[in-house]
Structure 1
Amino acid sequence: MRSAEHRAGAHRVHLRVAALLAALALGGCASLPSFLSDTRVAAAPAAAAAASAPQAAGAGEAEPQVVVTPAAQRAFDEARRLMRAGRLDDAERVLLALTKSDPDLGGPHANLGVIYRDRGNRLAPAIAELETAVRLSRRQPLFHNELGVAYRQAGQFDKARQAYEQALALDPNCAPAVLNLGILQDMYLGDGARALALYERYLALTPQGDAAVTKWVADLKNRKPAAAAAAKKETP
């Protein structure tokens, strides 16, 4: 059984993603500048604004333009600082205030969702905040990935799969979503072949390597031959 190892690995992935999410971005998974929202920022150059607000997947409509005021950016930067310092209660208060003063920004909702979810006992509000973040910022793959993690923790495996797949539809190279979908397929949906393909894809996207995932790949590759050999021994 690799469930404990998977859970430990998944927890490490979630912590890494949470650290990335604390620097909400105009871009995708590969590079996350410290902007408040993935939608257009006030006074951004025209080319940057166009790049940061592509058409919504399958919707044929652009994300609504959102103006990020200097005061909102300063408050969000303070919330990020508090999160890095482990002062989650203080960060939560700043983020809650931002959701009221700037309700169209997805970033504060996403970070609140991560805070609630990673405390372990507030999954319902975590899902609500992350669903709001996804609704407000449909083009941010990390928001979909984080929502998938919350769904998986709540036992809503089909919704988790859909959230991870939406993240990958937005950015096929979003490594956290690739790995989380692999863990879901392996541990919760029982599709070892799909999990193996996803783990190998994740390793291809991870130049520094990942020893735990490398072990999972070896285990999955050895599982079928071992099962076949056992079946042969049991045949009358």
Structure 2
Amino acid sequence: MTNLDLLSRIAFIAVLSLLLSNCATQPAPAVTQVALPDELSTPGSLSQAQQVEFRAAITEIGKENYKRGIKLLKQLDKQGDFDSVAANLALAYYKTSQLDDAKNSVNRALQINSSNAKAHNLSGLIAMQEGEFPKAEQAFLEALKLDNNYALAHYNLALLYDVYYQEIRKAYDHYLRYLVLVEYSDKETMSWVEQLKYSVEQENTQ
């Protein structure tokens, strides 16, 4: 693959990820973008009053009032061990490029509940942002081990294999799984996968 081909691929993925439906996006390391969930997990163990505060925080973050949302989540985080609060606090920090705080909060979420697939996915995004690609791969794989129908984890893992490892076969497989899970609603990724299909077929003939 030439440098021009790689740059074209990176530019294409940067555009297509902006068009992902029903999710927010946030820049990943320098060259591309990754899929993020709007909300990482539900507040199952919170009291009724705490759930009201939690939803208020999520609403603020949804409006990109991150400072207010983070303040509300930090107040809740001090009230107990809630993986939903810690995970969403990590997401808010990630969206505002506060990576050290994001890492601390997502690690706290996983200490509370190691089965939180979305927190593992976010941990992978943070690792990608810091250029720790093997760690990112393991985090995405762990997310999929916990929930193999987690579309965004398939997409992010495909992106990792595609852009950073250039392991086209693996990328292709995870893109396909992602497309199945989103019922082929992402037309831009479908177009890109059609282009990858040629590379996969070429590999199979070698």
Q: Which deviates the most, 87-96 or 218-227?
A: 218-227
- What CA distance in whole angstroms lies between the structure 1 residues aligned with 2:88 and 2:11? 27
Q: RMSD across aligned C-alpha pairs, in angstroms? A: 2.2
* Correspondence for 1:5: 12
TM-score by length of 2: 0.81
* Correspondence for 1:179: 155
Amino acid paired to 1:132: R
Choose from 88, 95, 117 the match for 1:111. Answer: 88
- What CA distance in whole angstroms lies between the structure 1 residues aligned with 2:134 and 2:202? 30
Q: Secondary structure at the match of 1:176?
A: helix
Q: Where do residues 153-164 of structure 1 align in structure 2 (5 Å cutoff)? A: 153-164=129-140
User: What is the aligned-residue identity percentage?
Assistant: 28
Shift of 1:156: 0.9
* Correspondence for 2:36: 17
Q: Deviations over 1:73-126 (max 9, x none)?
A: 121111112112221111111111111122x10112111211111123x21211
When residues 12 and 98 of structure 1 are mapped into structure 2, their CA distance, relative to the original with a 3 A threshold, is: farther
- What CA distance in whole angstroms lies between the structure 1 residues aligned with 2:54 and 2:200? 49
Q: Secondary structure at the match of 2:36?
A: helix
Q: Where do residues 1-236 of structure 1 align in structure 2 (5 Å cutoff)? A: 1-10=8-17, 15=24, 17-21=36-40, 24-25=41-42, 36-37=43-44, 41=45, 68-102=46-80, 104-120=81-97, 122-223=98-199
Q: Which deviates the most, 81-90 or 156-165?
A: 81-90
* Correspondence for 1:64: none
Larger Rg: 1
When residues 144 and 216 of structure 1 are mapped into structure 2, their CA distance, relative to the original with a 3 A threshold, is: same
When residues 221 and 146 of structure 1 are mapped into structure 2, their CA distance, relative to the original with a 3 A threshold, is: same
When residues 177 and 117 of structure 1 are mapped into structure 2, their CA distance, relative to the original with a 3 A threshold, is: same
Which consecutive residues of structure 1, in runs of 5 or more, have no partner in the other structure? 26-35, 42-67, 228-236
Q: Secondary structure at the match of 1:113?
A: helix
Q: Decide whether the 8 Å contact of 2:39 with 2:88 is kept in 1.
A: no
Q: Secondary structure at the match of 2:38?
A: helix
- What CA distance in whole angstroms lies between the structure 2 residues aligned with 1:128 and 1:185? 26
Which consecutive residues of structure 2, in runs of 5 or more, have no partner in the other structure? 1-7, 25-34
- What CA distance in whole angstroms lies between the structure 1 residues aligned with 2:202 and 2:99? 39
- What CA distance in whole angstroms lies between the structure 2 residues aligned with 1:105 and 1:138? 12
Q: Decide whether the 8 Å contact of 2:123 with 2:139 is kept in 1.
A: yes
- What CA distance in whole angstroms lies between the structure 2 residues aligned with 1:145 and 1:71? 29
Shift of 1:11: 5.2
Shift of 1:224: 5.8
Shift of 1:160: 0.7
TM-score by length of 1: 0.71
- What CA distance in whole angstroms lies between the structure 2 residues aligned with 1:98 and 1:6? 37
Q: Deviations over 1:134-192 (max 9, x none)?
A: 22122221111111111111111111111111111011111100111000011111210
Amino acid paired to 1:186: D
- What CA distance in whole angstroms lies between the structure 1 residues aligned with 2:174 and 2:77? 35
- What CA distance in whole angstroms lies between the structure 2 residues aligned with 1:224 and 1:166? 25
Shift of 1:132: 1.3
Q: Deviations over 1:25-63 (max 9, x none)?
A: 3xxxxxxxxxx14xxx4xxxxxxxxxxxxxxxxxxxxxx
* Correspondence for 2:32: none
Shift of 1:10: 4.0
Amino acid paired to 2:96: R
